[in-house]
Structure formats: structure tokens, C-alpha cells
Chain A
Amino acid sequence: MADMKVKQPKGVKLDHISKIYKDPKTGKDFYAVHDVALDIAPGSFVTLLGPSGCGKTTTLRMIAGFESPDEGEIYLGGEPINALTPNKRDTAMVFQSYALFPHYNVFDNVAYGLKLRKVPKNEIRDRVEKILGLVELSGMEQRMTNQLSGGQQQRVALARALVVEPGVLLFDEPLSNLDAKLRVQMRTEIRRIQQALGITAVYVTHDQSEAMAISDQIILMKQGVIAQMGSPMEIYYKPNSEFVADFIGECNFLHGKVSENAEKGAIVSLPAGKVAVRTEKKRNPGEACEIVLRPEAITIGDEGMLPCRVELSCFMGSYQNYHVRVGEELVKITDNCPLNKKIFQTGEQAYISFDPECAHLL
């Protein structure tokens, strides 16, 4: 696979780009994407994540050239590309609908871009064979696309995008038409191929687990702006807002006030008691705050930090699922491997505890 390395992966820079559309109902202009600035390193896998209408696909289409930014500049490999049409941008795209040409067979679909680039026939054959081998579709060259399964069609779409050796590979929700099992399998495949080729990839999805599984960096968007960017672990453990914390995985929020600053964090006063939380920023005493706690970071026992009352206790196999009331707030707990642990029943009194390192202060 060494000879399949991409010639030169390119970095992408979005320099404060915006896209303005007109609302068809009100006739007023609105920002679909607003002042987005980011730097994507060559060879990295970056995911644009967010709910519907957050501007992630519009951002991707601006990189591809199907939309032009109303403000700002896009750079590919250091060169400004706003004025270039999509076919001059050294990008390739895997579409949500795969966009395979139904009147061509697998070979012709994959070879299409090479033919238009007037690559010699022998080279086309070699490159198509290699790329079909990479996506594990060797021997299916003569099949029509309607004779392939969803996963195989997705591989053909990936091969077609990869065969032209683009500087940047763009993915527009490529797995959303697949069933759950195949989606997990294909996302692993996409990551494997991206790492094998060392290609720069920009991936759009609204599935947070997909983004976590494959990305070097996640750009979480909300209403046209970047809500947070960082590695999956940073986004998960150090969300900068309630929106980010809630969008990525399950989350509990405990509302309180900063009581005092401690050596490695702060003491937070909650209605149910005081707890220590790790924070890098110094907070002002008396300031309102929220503690973000992941369900798996909380333990339940006869003794602990905060008293609670069990409202739901449900055995889920690999974990015991609890809903407990701490003061006025509902807290979800995922207690892993419950086999040799005490199981609390609904209505019982208990205590919750957590490692201050695993709690995050907003």
C-alpha cells in the first residue's frame, strides 16, 4: 500500500468565511455560515459536526466550490481558491447519495475522472485496479452500480473520489443511507483508507459517535458559527458550553455557585452540598456555574459526596442505569459491570461521587 500514498496532501484554511442566504418566507438575509475561521493540517481528518441547519454542509460545499463565500477567503495548500471552479480545486467529494452514474459500470464510474483528465488508457486501468483493490472491490469492475449493495456502492464512490488523487477529500454525510451495522463498518474503512493514504479529509456528519470514532479534530457548529473545535477527547471532556456538552454524548448538569478557588480548581456550592471540581480558569467566588458530569464518571454508593434518591434503576446488561434526584436536579448514572456491586432500587437513598478530574466547570 506504500505506493498508494497521496502525492501531496494539502491543508485547508478558511479565513473568516461567511455565506448569506435570503429567507424565502421573510425575504430577509441571514447568515448560513458566519465568520468561520479554521486551519486544517495536511493529512488530518477533520469532521464538521452539528445539528441540521448548522451550516456544516454549506461550509463543505464552499470548500468544494459549489457555493461561493460572501465574505472571507478559502485557501487550499496556501493558494486562494475562491475564484476557482470546483473542477480546478484539487478536491474530490463523496456524496450522500453516492452520485454514481447508473449507466456506467464500476470500472467506468471510477475511471470517469481520469478519462476526462486525459490520462493514458494503460495508466487508467492500473490506477482503477489499485484503487478497487484498496476498497476491496477487485473483480467487480464490470458490475453495474444497481447490482451492488449499499456498502459496495459507497466503496465505489470512495474509489472514484480517491482515484484522481485529490489534495483534499470531502465527505458529505456519506454513511447516512446505510444501516447502523454497515455504518460502523464503513466508517472504520474510511478511516483506515485515509490513514493509509495520508490524505487530508473533511467530513460532514450529524452523528456525534461517527465524528468521535474517526476524527483527528472535530469542528462542532451551531447556527452557522463554530461552537467549539478540538480533538474528540477535548470536546467530550472539556466542552465550552452546555450545547457542546449536550450534543456530544449524554451529560448531566449540576447548577450551583463558585464558593471559593482551590489549588487545582474550585469549590462549588450546590443545593445538595459542596464539591471540588478541577478547572484551569480561576473563577470569581459567588459566580453562577454549571458542573458537567458524564453518566459514566459518576459512582453510586452508601457513602459519597452528594446525597440522592434513586428514581429509576434499570439493568442493561453491561451496566446498571440509574436516574437519581440530587437536590432538585435529575442525574443519570451509568454504573459499569454491576455484577458484584450493590444494586440500589427505586426509592432508596444513596450517595453519588465523582473524580474532580472528570468533572468540568462551565
Chain B
Amino acid sequence: MSASKAKVNQADIPVAQQHKFKWTDVLVQVGLVLWAIICLFPVYWMFTFSLKSNEEIFGANVMGLPQNWLWQNYTRALNVGHMGQYFLNSLIVTVVSIIFVLLAAIMATYAMTRLQWKGRKRMNSFFMLGLTIPIHAAIVPLYTTLSRVGMLNTYWALIIPYSAFSLSMGILISIGFMGDIPYDLDEAAFLDGCGVWGIFLRVIAPLMLPAVSTVGIYTFLQCWNELMFATVFISKEAYKTLPVGIQGLSGQYTTEWGPIGAALAMATLPTLLVYIFLSKQIQESFIAGAVKG
């Protein structure tokens, strides 16, 4: 194609599509840039503060890049502050909770939306009640129950409540996705010889992958950052999760803020990576209750 042919005549473009310079557009762009700076500044500040000494943090260089890059803050956080152990504990609790929530949410959704049985609508309402229970109201009864069954200071003390409190939202998200899968697929698979489990495992579950990632991310954010249950139900050092561990650091290292910053940076890194690579699914998980179901 010649250059003259490729060149689009401005007159050929519909008026509605022609871009005209507007000052309002510039103002909007400037506003958005400022808003991005406001949102990103705390992250920048946290990472720079994790590499500074107390003198820099509280002195003349509060906002600038570190004058001396103190990478040893990270080694101190890992060795002295046991951040490696806390990180591992958080990882175990979060991953197991995500697995439980995904399994329970997708299987429960399948049973409530695709199978015909008496009471399925009531069961759905029962699960949705979970969305209305404030987490704080459950602390005392949960503590008493966990204490009686001897689960305090174990991973289960966090995994079970985390899974239970994320399940309702997981089901709500899954119902929206599963409702979009045509019932003809179930019937076609059934005609071909699939049973209930076969339809679930071979047809429905593979098509629920977008919901799996959305529910997984939602549960991850809930579990990874949770502080209250972790503070109340865990007192042994060996089972503390990252938020509790970092809180403990501020008591022990009040004069050394650099390692605390390093611990915060390490704790935030997985969440940031999830946001960077899976932002679409995160947005879906946030609007799931408003649009889906």
C-alpha cells in the first residue's frame, strides 16, 4: 500500500471521532497523574525507608532516596526479627485457606445452582448470611471454641476462621460466574454419559477458572493482611503471621525503624505482585457483590 493511500484524510473521519484539543482533558490528565502520585507515594516511601537509618528517616532526608543504601536492614529483619518464619506461617495459612475456600465455594455453588434438591435456596441464603456477620462479633465465641478444642496457637486457629469468613463472598462470586455457563453443557455431558461428578470435574470446574482466580485473590487479600484473629488466637512465636510479627518488631526495635521498614516491604511484596499481574481479577472480585449474583 502506498503512503498516500495509507494516509487517512482528516475530512474522512467522522466529526465524533476527531480529537479536538480541550483544556478540560488536560486538567483531567493532570488530576489523574497527581492522584497516581498520591497512591504510589506510600509504596515508594516504604521501600526507601526500609533502606535508611533512623537518622535519615527522622532527619533531613525523610522523602528522598537513601544516602546510604542499608541492605542489611533486610538481613536484620530476616535473622533477628524472624521475618522468614512469619512469612512462611502467613504463606501456609493463606494457601491452605485459599484451597479450602475454593473447594468449598465452587462445590457448594455447583450444588446450589446446578442440582435440584429441596432447600437449596435456603442454603444459599444461609451462606449469604455470612456476609452480614461482622468479624469482631465472632472473636469471643471463636476464641472460646478454639480454646475448648485445643486449637489455639495452631495453624488451624487461623485457617478455619479465615476460610469460613471468606466462603460467603467466594460463593457469591462463584454463583455469578456459574450462572453464565449454559445448562445445555450439563445436559450434553449427561447425554454423553457423564455423572454429577463427571460434569462437575470435566465440564464445570474447567470453565470456572476465571472465578477460581477471582475468589483466590479475594481470599489471599483477606488472609494475608488479617491482624485481629492472628493477634488474639496466636501467641506462640512459631505460629505468628506477618502482620503480628511486624507489630511485635515495633516493640522490640523502637530505635531501629529500618528493619521494620524492610519487614513491611517484604510483607507487602506478594500483595503488590498480585495487584500488578492480576489487577483485572481483583477488580472483578471487588465488584462481584454489586454486579454478579
Contact = CB atoms under 8 A, between A and B. Distances in A.
Contact of A91 (B191, B198, B203, B207): B191
A103 B182 contact: no
B192 interface: yes
Contacts of A86: 187, 190-191
Interface in A218-270: none
Contact of B193 (A97, A99, A117): A117
Interface in B124-154: none
A102 B182 CA distance: 11
Given A102-B207, A103-B206, A116-B198, A87 B184 contact: no
A32 interface: no
Given A66-B187, A103-B207, A116-B198, A97 B182 contact: yes
Interface residues of A, number: 22
Query: What interface size band does chain B fall in?
Result: 10 to 19
A101 to B, nearest CB: 6
Interface in A73-129: 85-87, 91-93, 95-99, 101-103, 112-113, 116-117
Interface in A143-193: 160, 164
A116 B194 contact: yes
Given A101-B203, A103-B206, A103-B207, A112 B192 contact: yes
B103 interface: no
A85 B192 CA distance: 11
B179 to A, nearest CB: 15
B287 interface: no
A64 interface: yes
B274 interface: no
A99 B182 contact: yes
B185 interface: yes
Contacts of A91: 191
A117 B191 CA distance: 11
Contacts of A92: 191
A128 to B, nearest CB: 14
A172 to B, nearest CB: 9
B203 A87 contact: no
A156 to B, nearest CB: 12
Interface of A: 64, 66, 85-87, 91-93, 95-99, 101-103, 112-113, 116-117, 160, 164
Given A86-B187, A93-B191, A101-B203, 7 more contacts: A87-B191, A87-B193, A87-B194, A113-B193, A116-B192, A116-B193, A117-B193
15 contacts: A64-B191, A66-B187, A86-B187, A87-B191, A93-B188, A95-B188, A96-B184, A97-B182, A98-B184, A101-B185, A101-B203, A103-B206, A103-B207, A116-B192, A160-B188
Interface of B: 182, 184-185, 187-194, 198, 203, 206-207
